[in-house]
Chains A and B, each alone.
Chain A
Amino acid sequence: MEQIYDFIYNLLPYFGAWLRGLLQGWGFPEWAVALTIGLIKAFLLANFGLIGFAILTYVERKIVARFQDRLGPNLAGPYGILQPVADGIKLLTKEDTMPVGADRWVYNLAPLIIATCALAPLVVIPFGPGAIGADLNIGVLYALAVGAGALVGVLMAGWGSNNKYALLGAFRAVAQLISYEIPSVLSVVVVVMVAGTMSTVGIVLAQDIPYLFVLPLAALVFLMSGVAEVGRTPFDLLEAESEIVAGFHIEYSGMKFALVFLGEFVHALVVSALFAVLFLGGWRGPWLPPYLWTLIKMSLGIFLFFWLRATLPRIRIDQMLNLNWKFLTPLMILNLIGVALVDKGLRAAGATTGLWAVGMFAFNMAMLIGALALPGYLGHRARMAAMAPASEEEGEALEAAAAH
């Protein structure tokens, strides 16, 4: 019993050790062993992304359907679980329609770049102790940098299609994605500062208390800007169906369309994986094996994305940019300074870990409540000021009417 539990718990490290032993037993030299293991890791990770995409399309449709009191896909297989397969076959047999005016190379390369850049950060996501593609010492920075590369693909898609809707969508996408990069980076900096390392494994190991409870403000802002960066509702301006039809991927059909969508879904997967690693304690948790914990925490983030999509309407582009530049960015800069000072202060006062976490939590919550109360107060005052002269004019008009 004990042995079976141990085997299931440490499945991934055992598999790695077994593979290494097997290859060395075959008399492979050291570099060939490393190369083969690297190839197998790369293959497994890429397929994790691709299969994750297939499952997510089904799960999203099912969950959103439930929110809207529908059944969702239910014909292909039991409970419709074969729907992704049916979709895949349909997309594989669709004709390729490239508009005549399109820039051939740019147009055809864009989906590949979007999908590859979306898949790229998966390599630094740890699935358990020792179960990671590559434990880079700049892991978080790598994930942020490569994830932003999809933006180039989006701009290429919009520009290469030679379609006005596509171009508008691409411009919106660039304005939105680069804007929300900033609060996202600033919230990651806070985590890196407290953990003292940029390695994803290091950050997970540093979280004796999940950072969600130590830095709730950074977690909230990271999640919000993550939703905006993926371009999902309420920030799906870049593909607003009712205004610019589908935005940058309007001219794509068949598998190229599928690759663009793969980019979006895998990006959502990566953002929730990063959220799990940075704020929810990654693979750490009681009883269950580490890889299951990672998957559970990832699905929490994903479910939140679907929930938001089913609940919120789309916001306007000026509101979106205002929220970022006039609210989130100043807030995160102040939060960074505040967390640095409070952390130094608490450590100088010799607080224990528990006390330190409580202090940080209290500071973050105070910051959050203050940040929410201030715009509310200012907006209220502006509305009152706008209302006051209007009522005066009305009063004058009434008096004039009475005089006649």
Chain B
Amino acid sequence: MLQGYAVVGLYLLMSFALLGATLLLWWLLRPKKPNPLKLETYECGVQTVGDAWVQFRAQYYIFALIFVLFDVEAVFLFPWAVAYNQLGLYAVIEMALFLLLLLGGLLYAWRKGALEWV
């Protein structure tokens, strides 16, 4: 098992190294003639006004919160799913109740308008 993770680590290093090597090759081959016009921020034909690093809408934050909720749920679900074949009806119903509670939470967020894109 540990050997498997070693292969995963080797693989990640290898793909990072190969991609880095292409970037290095590019650095060797590419022309380097910068001028101020080329290095401007892209905008449709006009000068960019202001910085892009601004405050943004809180809407994304709400979606992220709901996502975290469901992702944590997935963490609980995976061990249950692996052990499912050995579990009795009781554990299945318990997990169904847990999921229904979460579904209730989703419906609540829905009713509150958290899922509306405005």
Interface residues of A (CB under 8 A from B): 34-35, 38-39, 41-43, 45-47, 49-50, 91-101, 112, 115-116, 119-120, 122-123, 133-137, 141-142, 159, 161-167, 171, 174-175, 178-179, 181-182, 185-186, 189-190, 192-193, 196-198, 245, 250-251, 254-256, 258-259, 262, 317-318, 321-322, 325-326, 329-330, 333-334, 336-337, 340-341, 344, 348
Contacts and interface: CB of A to CB of B under 8 A. Distances in A.
A46 B26 contact: no
Given A197-B82, A329-B70, A340-B96, A95 B8 contact: no
B48 A164 contact: yes
Nearest to B49: A164
A164 B82 CA distance: 45
Contacts, number: 215
A337 B12 CA distance: 36
Nearest to B53: A162
B39 interface: yes
Q: How large is the interface on B (under 10, 10 to 19, 20 to 34, 35 or more residues)?
A: 35 or more
Interface of chain B: mostly helix, strand, loop or mixed: helix
Given A255-B23, A326-B110, A333-B99, A182 B6 contact: no
Contact of B41 (A91, A115, A163, A186): A163
5 contacts: A35-B10, A41-B10, A179-B63, A190-B81, A192-B81
Given A255-B22, A340-B92, A38 B41 contact: no
Contact of A46 (B14, B41, B74): B14
A322 B56 CA distance: 21
Interface string B56-83: 1000100110110011001001101110
Nearest to B116: A318
B41 A182 contact: no
